[in-house]
Structure formats: C-alpha cells, structure tokens
Chain A
Amino acid sequence: MGESPLPEYHPPVTSSQNNAPFAVLLAVSAVGFLAVPFLIVLAPIEPTMGIIQKIFYFHAPIAWLLLLSTGVCAAGSIAYLFAGSDGGDRLAHASAELGVLFGACTLVTGPMWARVAWGVFWTWDARLTSSLLLWLMLVAYLLARRYGGPGAKKLSAALALFAAADAPLFYVSVNVWRTIHPKTTVVPSLGWPMARVFLSCLLLFTIFFGVLLMLRLRLEKARVALAELEIAHEDAREARS
C-alpha cells in the first residue's frame, strides 16, 4: 500500500439531498392507503360475482407490479452488464426483491379469489402458471445473487435478461392454451364507477412500488457507504500503528 494518505471522511449520501421527491411520494401513498379502502367499500358490487370481486382492486395492481419489477430488474441488469453501471445493478436487485414480495402477494390473493370463483385454489391455467414462473425466476435471481460466489452479480443479471425474454413467451402461451382467467380486456368493460376505483388502486400501488424502490436503494447506498467507512477506518488504524 506504501504511503497511502489518510482517507477522507465521506458522509453517507442518503442523509443529504434529494429528499423532496421521496417525501412527496411517501405522503401521496400514505394518503392513498387511507383513502382507497373507502373507495373500494363504496364501489358498486359486481352483479355476478358479488363481494369477492373486490379482491380484484388489490390483486390486479400487485400482479402488475410483479410484471413491472421484472421489467425494471431487466432494465437495471442491462445497464449493469453493458454499461457497467453499479446503480443499474442496485436498481435490479431492489426491484427483484420487491418483485418477490408482490409476486408472493399475487400468488396468495389469486387462490383466495379462485377458491370462491372457480371452486379450486389452483389450476394450471396459463396466466397463473406464468405468474408463478416469473416469481420463481425472481426468487432464482435472489438465490444467484446471494450464493453465486464471485461473479454473482453478472450471473443474476444474465438471469434477469432471460426472465425478461421468457415473459413474452409465456404471454404467447396464454393465447394458445385455453384460459379461464379473466382477460385483461375486462377492465374497459367494468363501467366507470368500478374502473375509477381500479385505476386509483393501480396508480396508488405503482407509486407505493416507487416509494419502496427508493427506500431500498437508499438503504443499499447507506450500506455501501458504511462498508466503505469501515474499510477506511480499518486502513487508517493500520496506517497509524
């Protein structure tokens, strides 16, 4: 190491700037989570399915977040693999974690509805199968990242690329297999009072996703800053002794 100068102290980035957009989004989603339950209760009851249809306001937005986080994960991985962007890598990691979380919620709320509507918890319907597979791939991403050893970041990034390539293949299979899952075309047919509630839920959950993503990225930044600080501290002590 030779005559290395004493390292300077870099305060963690998270404590300083860029708090405004985060605070605004946090406030919006807090207000949203207070308001949306009332909207859901007040929304008209769907005539054929009755009250259980209301799980749709929760289930469909988080299923969308599963898809969104796969996309964000792949985009971040591309930035990391081909531009060497560490920020992209952190973004991919954070959104894979959120994808696993929201995917788990999707896979729990879906069967709850299916038990009442179809009489079974699970069928090998194309849409259910593809959600499960996307979720499994995000779980595999986290596994690769944690246990992949040297090169784990690149391994998981490659996995994210294949996951994104798989998503349209699953989508094609939806159209080939006979599917009993309500199609996405159900949304325009809802009528305004129900669609209004659905769209606010969709917006709210997407904002919430953004909040969690930013929170996770800040946590990761702070973790990296702390690790660097520890190393610097260690180096400084060695230099002194």
Chain B
Amino acid sequence: MRARQTTWLRSAAGIAWKDLAIEWHSREIVYTMGFLATLVVLVFSFALVAGQDSKLGPGTIAGILWVAVLFSGTVALSRTFDREREGEAIRSLLLSPVPRSAIYAGKLAATSCIMFFVELVVTPLVGVFFSAPVAEHAAWLALQLLLGTIGFAAAGVVFSAALLRSRSRDALLGALLFPVVVPVLMAGARGTTLLLDAEVPDLDPAVFWTRFLGAVDVIFVAVGVWAFEPVAVGE
C-alpha cells in the first residue's frame, strides 16, 4: 500500500516535472500567457480609466485581476495539452503503466504552477496601474489566487484532455469552461474585493470567501479525478 502511494506520487511528480521542464526550455506559455494577461488588464484600463480622472473601486479592480487570470489561463491549458498531441505523445502517456489519476494530478500541478507564476507578475502590475493596495494582505491574496487557480485548472484539465482530438478545441474550451468555473470567479472576485477595500474593518468576510474557494477546489478536484479516467481513454 505504502509502495503504491509512493509510485503514484512519483508518477504524478514526474509528469508535472516533465511539463515544467519543457516550459522552462521554451518559456512559450509563460510569455504568451503573461503577455495576454497584461493585455487584458490594459484593455480594461483603456476602456475604464484612461482619459478620465476617476479612480476605480476595489470591486472593479478585483474583477479585472480575476478576468485576466481566467482568460489567460485558457492559453496555459490548451498549450500544455497541445504539446501532448504533437508526435502523439499522449498515446505513450496513456499506454504507460501509470494510474490515470496520477496523470491528472501531474497535469493539474504543472498547469497551476505556470498560471500561478504568471499571476505573481500580473498582480503587482494591477497594483501599479490602478494604485490598488495589493501588498497589504499579500499572503491572503496569494492564497486566494492559488486556490482559484487550482479550481480553474481542476475543471480545465478534464476539458482540455477531452478536447485533445477535437478540431474546434480552441473555440470550445472557453465556451465550456467559463460557465463551470463561475463559482471560482465569483468567490475570487468577492474575496479579493474585500482584501483591497480599505473600508472593510476586518478579514473575516475575506476569509469566508477564501474557504469557499478551498471547498470549490475539493469538489472540482474530486469530480476531475473521477471524470478524467473515462474521458482520457478516448473514443
């Protein structure tokens, strides 16, 4: 039993490590995703603030940050699975004597790592552009972003795997994923709003939404592990 757990962990870590190593050499996802996230933030600032004297409220700023994270996250998802399609690498991965749940966990870990890295760059940028106090509760904000990212990727990995052989995968991924991850977006945006709002006296409500994100993660990862196995087998 113990030995099986160790093998499972090692396989999952191996798959995550492989994805991160490929990314470390090409840096393709981090650059394109980071650029897209920055552009989303800029598009919002051109639409909402540029040329006006108004300052955005904490709710709007938190919303912009989370929309940027989720939109750019789809790039990370579709690219990590595109790499498996090239040279039919997915076939070798599925044929290898590794539990499907370990493949799922490895993919989830790698995607979350890449997304979180980009968030570490984009969040200070949001703080600078909108003069938002992102550093005030930096640890809580990082925790919310991490939990939100895991929830988003937990659903996203299943859909990207299922869309691997579909021709319209780029169009469909966003269309299927965004309705599903709305709880992540709502809880994340609400929680971050409370962190950025100087008028909120204590952290209690923000802690509630952080816990809610944690609960969403547990549910999404459980459903994800469960659904990944039959979905990844293919037609």
Contact = CB atoms under 8 A, between A and B. Distances in A.
Interface of A: 81-82, 133, 136-137, 140, 143-144, 147-152, 154-155, 157-159, 161-163, 165-166, 169-170, 172-173, 176
A198 to B, nearest CB: 30
A166 B234 CA distance: 25
Nearest to B155: A162
B-side interface mostly: helix
B226 to A, nearest CB: 7
B165 A149 contact: yes
B216 interface: yes
A166 B182 contact: yes
A166 B183 contact: yes
Contact of A166 (B168, B180, B215, B231): B180
A169 B216 contact: yes
B228 to A, nearest CB: 8
The 8 closest A-B pairs by CB, nearest first: A149-B166, A155-B162, A158-B227, A81-B230, A169-B183, A136-B179, A162-B180, A137-B179
Given A155-B162, A161-B226, A165-B220, 16 more contacts: A82-B230, A144-B172, A147-B168, A149-B168, A150-B166, A151-B165, A151-B231, A154-B230, A154-B233, A157-B230, A158-B231, A159-B159, A159-B176, A159-B180, A166-B180, A172-B212
A161 B223 contact: yes
Contacts of A151: 162-166, 231, 234-235
Contacts of A169: 183, 215-216, 219
A170 B226 CA distance: 21
Interface of B: 155, 158-159, 162-169, 171-172, 175-176, 179-180, 182-183, 186, 208, 212, 215-216, 219-220, 223, 226-227, 230-231, 233-235
Given A136-B179, A140-B175, A150-B165, A81 B231 contact: yes
Nearest to A77: B227
A143 B172 contact: yes
12 contacts: A143-B172, A143-B176, A151-B163, A151-B165, A151-B231, A151-B234, A155-B162, A157-B227, A157-B231, A159-B159, A159-B176, A173-B183
Contacts of B168: 147-149
Contacts of A161: 223, 226-227
Contacts of B227: 81, 157-158, 161-162
B179 A148 contact: no
B159 A133 contact: no
Contacts of B231: 81, 151, 154-155, 157-158
A141 B111 CA distance: 24
A148 B223 contact: no
A105 to B, nearest CB: 19
A144 B167 CA distance: 12
A162 B226 CA distance: 11
Contacts of B219: 165, 169
Contacts of B215: 169
A127 to B, nearest CB: 14
A148 B230 contact: no
Given A162-B155, A163-B180, A155 B163 contact: yes
Contacts of B169: 149
A147 B172 contact: yes
Nearest to B158: A158
A150 B235 contact: yes
Nearest to B166: A149
Nearest to A135: B179
Of A81, A151, A158, A169, the most chain B CB neighbours within 10 A belong to A158
A133 B178 CA distance: 10
Contacts of A172: 212
A38 to B, nearest CB: 40
B188 to A, nearest CB: 13
